[in-house]
Structure 1
Amino acid sequence: MNVPTISPEDGFIAASQFVLSPPKPREWLVGDLIPAGTVTLLGGDGGTGKSLLALQLAVSVVTGEPWLGQSVRTGSALFISAEDDVEELHRRTATISRALGGATQGDMERLLVMSRAGMDALLAEMNQSKGALTPTSLFQSIEDQAKVTRPNVIVLDTFADIFPGNENDTSEVRQFIGLLRGLAIRCQCAVIMLAHPSLTGMNSGSGTSGSTGWNNSVRSRLYLERVIQDGYEANPDARVLRTMKSNYGRTGGEIALTWLDGVFVADAPDIGLDRVALSVRAERVFLRLLDEFTAQGRTVKSANATGYALKAFVSTGRADRLTKKQLHEAMERLFANGEIKEILGGDGPPSKQTKRIVRASGTGAQPCETYA
């Protein structure tokens, strides 16, 4: 069978050509997190640190150092900020460089930054005659620079400053993401756009913003958020980076982070012996706090209601930085091992009594190792 001749201007390719050679492997800026050649949306509420996190990524790209413990594709980078002035970018870059042990001048020459703070930062404008978004001169200057430096990543901070349309208009959103995807394809790099979630996106934990077109149009979406449980933030320096969408990899992944000395560092994973040690520590902390509450005449229960043990224990500030999830797992193990149980207690008739957690060996406080 003869394969029809396809002229380049037609834009069509005979699929029979795909069987003649193996496809090129997919390229990633950060494996399974940020794909190359397309647009990734990095969301986070104001003040969570997404700008800092993105700048750390840009520095990692030019230095070859890991980002949050993940290998990155080394090369050059462009960082365009509409929120931070040059002096702030200088301070943050210097802090990141120190955290990496000092980047060389040669490394940092490959990172080009642009501040549009206090200036027009729009990358598109509405062409009334065409009824469509078209690139601005700023967009073209960024692409012209990218064609010269061939960056592996272009960071755009934030969409509220660079997007000219209505964020709830799906058509305008998709057109804008299309412009950025074209930039990523032509320059063969990852484009990362930072964004603030809507109030609904924050409350639901989805991190979405405005139209569903934002989530549907990008190929990858990450969400940086604080660790808050039942309205309580046990550690103001703790963050979680979640993979909310990945067309080319797994979703649902999480990286636990901590802000330390001006930068974010990935928490050590709980694996192997470390996980066993964490489990033992969580059980000891649970029993210690249970004994303290019992000695004070305060009761706690396993159900998520008034007197919920996990919420009560975390709110004391003495839970040794353990999360509710870790304490919940410890509680379930202690129930399964027969070390704790739930009984009815309280004054009055049985119908008025409520359940409470106690040591299986008795209802009073028992000796337990104390941890600061």
Structure 2
Amino acid sequence: MRGSRFFSAAALNGKPIPPRQWLVDGLIPSGTVTLFGGDGGTGKSLLALQLACSVALGRSWLGKATAGGCALYISAEDDEDELHRRIADICQSEDIAPAELDRLTLRSLAGEDALLAVQMQGKGMLTPTELFHELDRKLKADAPALLVLDTLADLFPGDENNRAQARQFVGMLRGLAIRHGCAVVMLAHPSLSGLNSGSGTSGSTGWNNSVRSRLYLERIKDEGYEPDTDARVLRTMKANYGPTGGEIALRWQAGVFVAQQQEQGLDRVSASAKAERVFLKLLDALTAQGRYVSASPGPTYAPAQFASHPEAEGCTKRALKGAMDKLFGRDEIIVATHGTGVKARSHIARKGAA
């Protein structure tokens, strides 16, 4: 018989409020599950291994402080030789010897049965495997601050589109996080729809809804074109305990990812103002030529048209999209129409000039 522990809210009176525990301040909470997504080949396994090394060394990760402590990295994708090569690159970038990573434990499951659960025949429910129980015992013995699981497709036995199974599996991992007071970071590939939309979601919405935070690593592309194959961006897609929408620009160099300096304060304001100025300049120029641009994605989409213009001054489509949204928000530009009847079309115009 299940025995639940009920308590009165009044019992909290006078008790000190427990502070929120973070593995990575404001990014990865402790005591719960973070889903870390990214398409194959983007480098999420390497970035997660860098996280594990940073925690083991008590150093910052991508410029953000970590809690520090033991770390356990489970890989079902990379064999021991590949892990060795990656550790060597990380050690070189951190200017350390592998002997200094004594708080990092690795386990390669490449080529082995890596399932942490199996489906109960005829019921569709999940039951833990012996590997799951072995992992539970290891966490109890080592008390790590971080557990990395790479990847969902190798560890999960069910249907990723099955919401009930997704929630149960995340619940099993969250149980590990709560019992052992660690952060669990589970790597996953996005579904085709998640990849195309840029949301980075995988399978059922149950995955996104069940985890407390979700990160997504992606390449930087513009209309399918990737101008810099070494550039990546890490986005905060969900954060129950902090702000969403954060981005960290990364660059792959010498075998590791390095955070790039972000525009701050006046620099960011200046870049935003530049994008707005360029948007209005090109809007005026194209309108004078009788070339109308649209606010909706398509052949005449203004941010895309302007970004490819010789007078774009280096502004990207993303920056010009942000400028367009701000100009609409301030009512400096409007959607007007040209043509009549069935030939009527909408276009962007300066307010008062339509």
TM-score w.r.t. structure 2 length? Answer: 0.80
User: Does structure 2 retain, via aligned residues, the 8 Å contact 1:123–1:138?
Assistant: yes
Q: Counterpart amino acid of 1:147?
A: K
- TM-superposed CA distance for 1:67, in Å, is 1.0
User: Does structure 2 retain, via aligned residues, the 8 Å contact 1:81–1:115?
Assistant: yes
User: Does structure 2 retain, via aligned residues, the 8 Å contact 1:219–1:246?
Assistant: yes
1:207 aligns with 2:204: no
Q: CA 1:121–1:286 in structure 2 vs 1: closer, same or farther (change >3 Å)? A: same
1 CA distance for matches of 2:81 and 2:281?
49
2 CA distance for matches of 1:257 and 1:272?
20
- TM-superposed CA distance for 1:275, in Å, is 3.0
Aligned to 2:132: 139
CA deviations 1:215-260 (Å, max 9, x no partner) are 1111111111222222222222222222222222222222222222
Q: Secondary structure at the match of 1:252?
A: coil
Alignment of 1:1-372 (within 5 A): 10-15=3-8, 16-100=10-94, 102-105=95-98, 107-128=100-121, 132-275=125-268, 278=271, 305-306=298-299, 310-312=303-305, 314=307, 322-327=315-320
1 CA distance for matches of 2:309 and 2:93?
33
User: Does structure 2 retain, via aligned residues, the 8 Å contact 1:84–1:115?
Assistant: yes
CA deviations 1:149-173 (Å, max 9, x no partner) are 2111100000100001111222222
- TM-superposed CA distance for 1:209, in Å, is 1.3
Q: Counterpart amino acid of 2:51?
A: L
User: Does structure 2 retain, via aligned residues, the 8 Å contact 1:234–1:321?
Assistant: no
Q: Secondary structure at the match of 2:161?
A: coil
RMSD of Structure 2 on Structure 1 (CA): 4.0
Q: Secondary structure at the match of 1:201?
A: helix
**Greater displacement, 90-99 / 125-134:** 125-134
Q: CA 1:182–1:355 in structure 2 vs 1: closer, same or farther (change >3 Å)? A: closer
1 CA distance for matches of 2:102 and 2:184?
20
User: Does structure 2 retain, via aligned residues, the 8 Å contact 1:232–1:315?
Assistant: no
User: Does structure 2 retain, via aligned residues, the 8 Å contact 1:152–1:189?
Assistant: yes
User: Does structure 2 retain, via aligned residues, the 8 Å contact 1:234–1:317?
Assistant: no
1 CA distance for matches of 2:325 and 2:159?
48
Q: Counterpart amino acid of 2:93?
A: A
Q: Counterpart amino acid of 1:237?
A: D
TM-score w.r.t. structure 1 length? Answer: 0.77
- TM-superposed CA distance for 1:310, in Å, is 4.3
Unmatched 5+ stretches in structure 1: 1-8, 335-350, 358-372
Task: Name which one, 1 or 2, has greater alpha-carbon Rg.
Answer: 1
Unmatched 5+ stretches in structure 2: 328-342, 350-354
Q: Counterpart amino acid of 1:134?
A: T
User: Does structure 2 retain, via aligned residues, the 8 Å contact 1:234–1:314?
Assistant: no
- TM-superposed CA distance for 1:289, in Å, is 10
- TM-superposed CA distance for 1:61, in Å, is 0.4
Query: Aligned pair count?
Result: 343
- TM-superposed CA distance for 1:109, in Å, is 0.9
User: Does structure 1 retain, via aligned residues, the 8 Å contact 2:56–2:71?
Assistant: yes
Q: Secondary structure at the match of 1:151?
A: coil
User: Does structure 1 retain, via aligned residues, the 8 Å contact 2:295–2:347?
Assistant: no
2 CA distance for matches of 1:244 and 1:81?
24
Identity of aligned residues (%): 57
